[in-house]
Structure formats: C-alpha cells, structure tokens
Amino acid sequence: MHRTKVRIVEDALDANNTIARANRDDFDRHGVTVVNFMSAPGAGKTTLLERTIADLDGVRAGVLEGDVEGSMDADRLSALHVPVVQLNTASGFGGECHLDANMVRSALAALPLEEIDLLVIENVGNLVCPAEFRVGEDLRVMVSAVTEGEDKPLKYPLMFRACDLVIVNKIDLLPHLDISVERLLANVEAVHPGVPTMLVSARTGEGIDAWRDWLVNATNRAAAPA
C-alpha cells in the first residue's frame, strides 16, 4: 500500500519533469531566462518585484503570477507597465498550493515571450510544495523574511536546498525582533552549503540594488554565447 503511494508520487513527478522540459524548450527558443520565485505567504515576493521589475537596465521582464485566487498581485505589477499574466490554481487546478509545469504550460500562450528577456514566475506562497515541482525555470530564488524566525531552513530544508539564491527580506524590522540574522544565515549554510544570500528590505530599499543586479546578471549570463 505504502509502496503504491510512493510509486504514484514518483510517476507524477516524472510527468511534471517531462512537461517542465517542454516549457524549457519553449523558453530557450525565445531566449527567455526564467526565474522561479518562491517563499512562504507574505515574505515579500511581490514587493521585491515592484521594486525592481520595471527598471532592469535594459532587460525586458515579464511576470507570471501564481496565486490560489484573485489578481491582487498581478494588478500591483501591471501598474508598472510590464507584461503580467495571472494564473489562479483555484481555476481548473484544484486550488493547488504550488505551480506545476502543466499550469505554467497552460499560461504560455498568454505570455509575450518574443517581447521579453526575463520571466519571473511568482509561485504560490508556500514553503513546502513549490520546491518539489520544476516548471521549466533556469534558476530558483526564495525569500525568507526575518519575521519567519531563524529556524526555517532547518524545518523546511528542501525549499532552501532547491534554490540558487536566498533573499533574507524585511531587515528593517530587525530592531523589533529577537531573531539573530547570523543564526539564520548559519542555518541556511547548514542545509545548503555555499548558496548565495542577500540581506534586503523591500520597504526601505536597502540591498535592493544587489537584487536588481542579480536579476540583470542572471539574464545576461543566460543570453551570452557559450
């Protein structure tokens, strides 16, 4: 019984990876770098995009917004006049707590891939499931807000391990918290040795230039001839 369950999960992940590869082929054909942007609900993903996405040093960016319901985040980003497509998992996808490759594939026709160099996929806010489903991305970034506590890397290691960059956000709130950033960073290092980290505040703008540079460099590196 237990073995059957494991088998089904493995089959589902295999199927997801096959569709993720097809997405990746489409992104590659259009020369689009894709970042899968993940975090717990409310860590600051949309705010970090609001701060950067319309001002990327010539890199033309678009956003695929994943939410269970609603278009609040997509509306916020549309105000910046970048192409934004909303994907609701409650509409035909069972209200899933993550995006998968098939959902992203269903949105491809609505995305102006020929007009952008970078696509940021803001995943559904969740610290567990999004890390298990590749969607055809080149890179994965997660945000960990200091308000979540310093133990999260130890409790949700898969998410921290799956990422190419960990952004520690809301550092403006540190004076009001008893969290130790040093311990948080040590816990990140313990579960994912060597992963780059960035300390930022989407509220004050501290560290935002480094985040913007990371997005620009990631796009340009992917576009450079091998």
Ligand X SMILES: Nc1nc2c(ncn2[C@@H]2O[C@H](COP(=O)(O)OP(=O)(O)OP(=O)(O)O)[C@@H](O)[C@H]2O)c(=O)[nH]1
**169: nearest Cα among 220, 138, 204, 123:** 204
In the complex with ligand X, the residue whose CB is nearer, 172 or 213, is 172
The reply to whether 126 sits near Mg ion by the rule CB under 5 A is no
| x-or-dash string of contact with ligand X, 63-102, rule CB under 6 A | ----------x-----------------------------
Four-residue CA torsion sign, 107, 108, 114, 117: positive
Cross-sheet strand order for the sheet of 118-122 = 84-88, 61-67, 118-122, 33-39, 139-145, 165-169, 197-199
**40: nearest Cα among 188, 169, 193, 133:** 169
In the complex with ligand X, the residue whose CB is nearer, 19 or 145, is 145
The reply to whether 45 sits near ligand X by the rule CB under 6 A is yes
Tokens of 198: 């960035």
In the complex with ligand X, the residue whose CB is nearer, 155 or 203, is 203
With tokens 């089959």, the residue in question is 11
Stretch that binds ligand X, among 3-11, 82-90, 108-116, 170-178 (CB under 6 A): 170-178
The reply to whether 170 sits near Mg ion by the rule CB under 5 A is no
Element (H, E) at 65: strand 61-67
Residue 151 carries which DSSP code?
A: T
Give, as ranges, the residues between 42 and 71 that touch Mg ion (CB under 5 A).
45-46
In the complex with Mg ion, the residue whose CB is nearer, 45 or 51, is 45
Question: Are the CB atoms for 30 and 114 separated by under 8 Å?
Answer: yes
Stretch that binds ligand X, among 12-20, 41-49, 176-184, 189-197 (CB under 6 A): 41-49
Residue 123: which of ligand X, Mg ion, none does it interact with, CB under 5 to 8 A by kind? none
Sequence-distant (6+) residues with CB within 8 A of 32 are: 113, 116, 117, 118, 119
Stretch that binds Mg ion, among 19-27, 72-80, 108-116, 151-159 (CB under 5 A): 72-80
Give the nearest residue (CB) to ligand X: 125
The reply to whether 207 sits near ligand X by the rule CB under 6 A is no
Angle between helices 45-52 and 208-223 (to 10 degrees): 70
The reply to whether 73 sits near Mg ion by the rule CB under 5 A is yes
The reply to whether 173 sits near ligand X by the rule CB under 6 A is yes
In the complex with ligand X, the residue whose CB is nearer, 80 or 173, is 173
The 3-state DSSP composition of the chain as helix, strand, coil percent (nearest 5) reads 45, 15, 35
Residues engaged in binding ligand X (CB under 6 A): 39, 41-47, 73, 125, 169-170, 172-173, 201-203
Residues engaged in binding Mg ion (CB under 5 A): 45-46, 73
